[in-house]
Amino acid sequence: MLRLHEYTYHRPSTLAEAVAFLHAHEDAVPIAGGTDLMPNMKHRLFTPRHLVALKGIADLHGIGVADAEGRPADGEGGGAELVLGAAVTLSEAARDPRVLRWIPALAQAAGQVAGPQIRNQGTLGGNLCLDTRCTYYNQSEFWRNALGYCLKKDGTVCHVTRTGKKCVAAHSADAATALIALGARVDLVSAEGTRRLPVEAFYIADGQWNTVRRRDELVARIRVPLPGPGARMSYQKVRQRNSIDFPLLSIAAVADLDAGDVVRSLTLVVSALGSRPRTVTGLDKLAPGQRLAEIVEAVAQQAYKQCHPLENIIVDPEWRRAMVPVYVRRALLQMISAPALAA
């Protein structure tokens, strides 16, 4: 049986209390749902002396619509955005009528995370901060010691690349893929204040710590601009068991179409292959002015050229790469057949 180490559990009632404690204690780690952190602690991947609970903080809950000035709104007019608290559970994000109405790709992504028990406990902010995963990292301490520790934890060599220069553990957070495609932003709060940045800029290509979030910062809110009536979107996920597993590949696509299904813009994000999600480039030249149905194959091949998975997950990387164009086609075809978003 894998047991937890000793730690002290703290329950701040306000966001200010939480970030102040994190700032004052370098050995403190925030916990919301804990669905990823607790197993990792049992594997001795993290051994913090203090856990700072976030679910009791009211400021981190709730879903609402705000205008460009941050004031409550009804979703009409330019600049409006859907604001989701970081402690909103994945189940709430998957079922909320506003998410389903305006940003169904996020509902699809959140609704495919693990199983219902995990979705009921896990949070949207926690999913954004999900630790990267690797065959050589997500193992018991006994297993890692027997093999020889890896670059991400206690070792000096990456067993995937065998060069030891950079960790290539895979990004595995479903919600982030959809949020990047949707142009979402994230609010990071610390004792020093708040900073806001695109979710895409939140991630960096370093499997050891693949976000720009400092250890004393918290994800407080996620802000998603409300798409126009011509928007279509899709989320696709490949995994070994559809009921519970992390993605072997995840794809989010968002298109803005005119009345004749001619593309004004198209964004495609592919993840679970490297340490951060990849936005497929070149679509700004390939897609605008074309009917979406006529560029499906060209977009699929563009994604295939740019995606090169490594042996950081058990499943064969060449098979995973071969699935990229297959699921890009499925995403685009789903968007073609989907109705336009409700006004």
pLDDT tens per residue, range 134-165 = 999 999 999 999 999 999 999 999 999 998 88
Confidence of residue 41 (pLDDT cuts 50, 70, 90): very high
Sign, CA torsion 272/278/279/281: negative
Q: Look at residue 47 in the predicted model and tell me its pLDDT.
A: 97
Closest to 332 (Cα-Cα) out of 300, 289, 285, 284? 300
Q: Do the domain assignments include residue 322?
A: yes
What DSSP string runs through 19-71? HHHHHH-TTEEEESS-TTHHHHHHTTS---SEEEE-TT-GGG--EEEE-TTS-
The CA distance from 238 to 149, in Å, is 29
Domain membership flag for residue 28: no
Burial of 110 (0-12, 13-18, 19+ CB in 10 A): buried
Whether residue 292 contacts residue 316, with contact meaning beta carbons closer than 8 Å, is answered with: no
The one-character DSSP state at 112 is T
Residue 176 included in any domain: yes
Q: Establish if 46 belongs to a structural domain.
A: no
Instruction: Specify the pairing of strand 263-271 against strand 278-279.
Output: antiparallel
pLDDT digits (tens, 9 = 90+) for 58-86: 999 999 999 865 666 666 556 899 999 99
The verdict on residue 150 lying in a domain is no
The answer to whether residue 247 sits within a structural domain is yes
Residue ranges making up the domain that contains 190: 59-128+170-337
Q: Which residue, among 283, 284, 285, has the nearest Cα to 306 in the 3D structure?
A: 283
Percent of the chain's residues with pLDDT above 70: 96
Question: Which pLDDT belongs to residue 198?
Answer: 98
- Indicate whether 296 belongs to any domain: yes
Residue 75 confidence (pLDDT): 63
Instruction: Work out the average pLDDT over 255-281.
Output: 95
Mean pLDDT of 183-201: 98
Q: What is the pLDDT of residue 79?
A: 82
Mean pLDDT for the chain overall: 95
172 confidence band (pLDDT: 50, 70, 90): very high
Give the predicted TM-score (pTM) of the model: 0.95
Question: How many residues does this entry show for the chain?
Answer: 343
Q: HSE (CB half, 13 Å, CA atoms) of 293?
A: 5
Identify the CATH number of the domain in which residue 102 sits.
Answer: 3.30.465.10
pLDDT in tens, 87-143: 999 999 999 999 999 999 999 999 999 999 999 999 999 999 999 999 999 999 999
Q: What is the pLDDT of residue 48?
A: 98
Q: What local confidence, expressed as pLDDT, does residue 68 receive?
A: 62
pLDDT of res. 340: 74
With respect to residue 149, please indicate whether it lies within any of the assigned structural domains: no
Is pLDDT at 253 greater than 80 in this prediction?
yes
pLDDT of residue 76: 59
- Number of continuous H segments (helices) and E segments (strands) in the chain: 13, 12
Question: What is the pLDDT, as a whole number, of residue 165?
Answer: 84
Q: What percent of the chain has pLDDT over 90?
A: 90
Task: Check residue 338 and give its pLDDT.
Answer: 83
**Statement: residue 321 has pLDDT above 90:** yes
State residue 314's pLDDT score: 87
Report how many domains make up the chain: 1
**What does the pLDDT read at residue 69?**
59
Distance CA 241, CA 235 (A): 17
Query: Is the pLDDT reported for residue 24 higher than 60?
Result: yes
Class of residue 342 by CB neighbours under 10 A (exposed 0-12, middle 13-18, buried 19+)? exposed
